[in-house]
């Protein structure tokens, strides 16, 4: 039977997987949350928008005859990942997560680890800093309670309304980025503190390497908890799993 895949995407890993799947006999749909106004073109069919919670995803899986689900969402997309675990369990559809190993602190790093975004907001209490707030646009408003800082905001799309920070600069750019480029960006804006999610992988690591090279402290937001699931860290491992998951239901 030809596999029918649902790839939950929005990451460079999902794009790489879609490229490989497009060269196979499998049918695939790459689903994006719709948080980026101009998503990159993909070599497989795309859908944009949510499913409507667990019940909506269950309906989608049954109506489309999906045989395999690959969760290649961002490590901080905890709600979608939890819904995928629950929906696949209800439908008996095999699920695998294509994950990025988290970053780990190395010599020269100056990390302050916090449990969540609220912890990062609290860690910014105190004297003024020039902050590179490298967390995307979803949680920017939560940092408005710390208005004493200058904030450098690097976003994929222009914000719908100007951020409510008294002193800030928006840079519109799409990665991947380079360490040299991020060092130059931090120097240009006089950055002395970086706030980052522990996204893992290589595509977003440039700012962490740049902060290390410049001796800058990083407030590092730990990943959210996700229900147990089968995880791999390479496209080849996903393709191997697809070839065998039909006889390993529930893996």
CATH number of the domain at 231, please. Answer: 3.40.50.720
Residues whose CB is less than 8 angstroms from the CB of residue 80 and which lie 6 or more positions away in sequence, other chains included:
8, 33, 71, 73
Q: Is there a single domain that holds both residue 182 and residue 214?
A: yes
Q: Is there a single domain that holds both residue 92 and residue 193?
A: no
Residues whose CB is less than 8 angstroms from the CB of residue 236 and which lie 6 or more positions away in sequence, other chains included:
none
In this structure, the strands spanning 168-172 and 150-155 are parallel
Q: What is the three-class DSSP state of 98?
A: strand
Establish if 37 belongs to a structural domain: yes
Residue numbers of the domain that contains 140:
111-221
Q: Is there a single domain that holds both residue 33 and residue 57?
A: yes
- Is the separation of the CB atoms in 213 and 183 below 8 Å? yes
Q: Is there a single domain that holds both residue 133 and residue 178?
A: yes
Q: Is there a single domain that holds both residue 163 and residue 195?
A: yes
- Written as six digits, the tokens of 32 are 């994006």
Q: Which long-range contacts (CB under 8 A, 24 or more apart) does 215-218 make?
A: 215/108, 215/110, 216/110, 216/186, 216/191, 216/192, 217/110, 217/111, 217/112, 217/192, 217/193, 218/109, 218/110, 218/111, 218/112, 218/193, 218/194
Identify the helix (H) or strand (E) that includes residue 16.
helix 12-21
Q: Is there a single domain that holds both residue 131 and residue 188?
A: yes
pTM of the prediction?
0.88
Task: Identify the CATH number of the domain in which residue 161 sits.
Answer: 3.40.50.150
Question: Cβ-count burial of 87 within 10 angstroms (0-12 exposed, 13-18 middle, 19+ buried)?
Answer: buried
Domain count along the chain: 2
Establish if 152 belongs to a structural domain: yes
Name the residue with tokens 């369990």.
Answer: 89
Q: Is there a single domain that holds both residue 117 and residue 209?
A: yes
Residues whose CB is less than 8 angstroms from the CB of residue 65 and which lie 6 or more positions away in sequence, other chains included:
4
Establish if 9 belongs to a structural domain: yes
- Written as six digits, the tokens of 24 are 């196979």
Cα–Cα distances in Å, from 195 out to 132, 189, 207? 6, 15, 10
- Separation of alpha carbons 97 and 4, rounded Å: 16
Nearest to 89 by CA among 47, 63, 54, 53: 54
Q: Is there a single domain that holds both residue 23 and residue 83?
A: yes
Q: Going edge to edge, which strands form the sheet with 95-98?
A: 45-48, 27-32, 4-8, 68-71, 95-98, 231-232
Establish if 131 belongs to a structural domain: yes
Residues whose CB is less than 8 angstroms from the CB of residue 146 and which lie 6 or more positions away in sequence, other chains included:
121, 124, 125
Q: Is there a single domain that holds both residue 117 and residue 202?
A: yes
Q: Is there a single domain that holds both residue 115 and residue 212?
A: yes
Helices 12-21 and 235-244, packing angle to 10 deg? 50
In the chain (251 residues long), the average pLDDT of successive 10-residue segments reads: 92 93 92 73 88 97 97 95 98 96 95 98 98 92 97 90 94 90 98 97 92 98 96 96 66 36
Establish if 15 belongs to a structural domain: yes
Q: Is there a single domain that holds both residue 67 and residue 96?
A: yes
Establish if 106 belongs to a structural domain: no
Q: Is there a single domain that holds both residue 158 and residue 74?
A: no
Nearest to 108 by CA among 221, 202, 215: 215
């Amino acid at each position: 039977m030809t596999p029918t895949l649902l790839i939950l995407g929005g990451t460079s890993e999902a794009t790489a997987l879609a490229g490989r799947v497009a060269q196979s006999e499998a049918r695939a749909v790459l689903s994006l949350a719709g948080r980026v106004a101009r998503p990159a073109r993909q070599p497989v069919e795309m859908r944009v928008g949510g499913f409507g919670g667990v019940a909506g995803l269950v309906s989608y899986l049954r109506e489309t005859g999906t045989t395999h689900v690959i969760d290649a969402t961002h490590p901080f997309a905890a709600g979608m990942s939890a819904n995928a675990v629950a929906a696949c369990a209800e439908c008996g559809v095999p699920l695998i997560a294509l994950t990025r190993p988290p970053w780990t602190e190395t010599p020269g790093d100056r990390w302050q680890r916090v449990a969540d975004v609220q912890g990062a907001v609290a860690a910014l209490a105190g004297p003024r800093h020039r902050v590179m707030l490298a967390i995307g646009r979803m949680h920017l408003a939560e940092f408005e309670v710390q208005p004493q800082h200058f904030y450098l905001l690097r976003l994929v799309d222009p914000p719908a309304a100007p951020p409510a920070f008294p002193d800030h600069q928006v840079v519109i750019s799409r990665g991947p980025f380079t360490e040299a480029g991020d060092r130059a960006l931090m120097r240009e804006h006089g950055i002395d503190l970086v706030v980052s999610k522990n996204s893992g992988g290589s595509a977003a690591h440039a700012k962490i390497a740049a902060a290390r090279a410049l001796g800058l402290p990083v407030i590092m937001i730990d990943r959210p908890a996700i229900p147990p699931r089968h995880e791999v860290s390479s496209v080849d491992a996903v393709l191997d799993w697809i070839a065998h998951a039909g006889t390993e239901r529930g893996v």
